[in-house]
């Protein structure tokens, strides 16, 4: 099988917190780098579905950011056979002052959906799915948290992407919407050929993944089948 993602000896550390005064100080006086990723060697083949397990601060999100090319490694190389679509954010890229319609339009332009569909069709599909027709002229900041999440979900979980990197998916509003959202998410994940999914939900991981990686202190400490990875994680996190 051809590799979709290859990480070779990848190291990453967030930059030092520099300040004007620290320019005058030697390097050891600076705050320590945090959330480091060290010595990651990993190959994910085309069509593989990988679960990423680990406690908070273990480096899962940073690894997903690296795989998605949001961050560049401090050293080492990352190869991806096609662009990785990251689903990591929990907010809109636009200001919350914009109305629902303006926000949908901004995503329409940013994701270049104008190459595949008309704005009117796209707007209707998002409003229909999120059920926000009545609130379409309200600024996003005036929506309830549930409505806001419905809108975000409807915008982001759309289209087909070859490689997906997903972090701990957010809750999706009320019960009625939750069922609809689960169905959409299932279809969305099925369309992708390669998937890296970080979650604490065993059932979600079992539904979509066959391989499991366990991370601790920025390192992959286990790599195997999902069942073995879940057992390893439970044993070592207890």
Considering only CA atoms, which of 60, 72, 50, 52 is closest in space to residue 3?
50
Q: How far is the CB of 23 from other proteins (least distance, A)?
A: 8
Q: Which CB, 20 or 238, lies closer to other proteins?
A: 20
Question: From the CB of 48, what's the least distance to other proteins, in Å?
Answer: 22
User: Hunting for tokens 């079992």 — which residue is that?
Assistant: 206
Is the CB of 88 or the CB of 221 nearer to other proteins? 88
In the bound state with other proteins, the residue whose beta carbon lies nearer, of 21 and 203, is 21
Closest to other proteins by CB, 39 or 90: 90
Torsion, Cα of 182, 66, 69, 209 (10° steps): -30
Distance of CA 238 to the CA centre of its chain: 26
| Integer angstrom CA distances of residue 191 from 60, 159, 170, 172, 237 | 23, 9, 20, 20, 33
Q: How far is the CB of 212 from other proteins (least distance, A)?
A: 23
What CA–CA distance (Å, rounded) separates 80 from 161? 13
Min. distance of Cβ 159 from other proteins in angstroms?
15
Contact footprint for other proteins (CB under 8 A): 14-15, 17-21, 23, 34-35, 65, 68-71, 86, 88-95, 97-99, 102, 105-106, 109-110, 114, 139, 167
């Amino acid at each position: 099988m051809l590799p979709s993602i290859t990480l070779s000896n990848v190291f990453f550390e967030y930059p030092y917190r520099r300040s004007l005064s620290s320019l005058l100080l030697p390097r050891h006086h600076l705050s320590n780098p945090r959330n480091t990723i060290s010595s990651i060697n990993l190959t994910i083949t085309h069509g593989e579905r990988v679960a990423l397990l680990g406690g908070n601060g273990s480096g899962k999100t940073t690894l997903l950011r690296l795989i998605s090319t949001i961050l560049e490694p401090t050293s080492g190389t990352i190869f991806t056979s096609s662009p990785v679509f990251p689903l990591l954010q929990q907010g809109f890229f636009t200001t919350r002052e914009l109305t629902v319609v303006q926000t949908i339009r901004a995503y329409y332009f940013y994701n270049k959906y104008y190459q595949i569909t008309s704005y009117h069709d796209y707007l209707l599909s998002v409003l229909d799915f999120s059920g926000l027709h009545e609130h379409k002229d309200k600024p996003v900041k005036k929506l309830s948290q549930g409505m806001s999440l419905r809108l975000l979900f409807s915008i982001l979980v759309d289209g087909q992407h070859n490689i997906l990197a997903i972090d701990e998916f957010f809750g999706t509003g009320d019960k009625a919407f939750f069922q609809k959202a689960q169905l959409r998410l299932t279809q969305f994940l099925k369309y992708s050929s390669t998937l890296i999914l970080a979650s604490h939900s065993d059932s979600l991981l079992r539904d979509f993944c066959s391989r499991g990686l366990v991370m601790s202190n920025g390192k992959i400490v286990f790599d195997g089948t999902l069942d073995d990875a879940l057992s390893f994680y439970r044993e070592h996190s207890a």
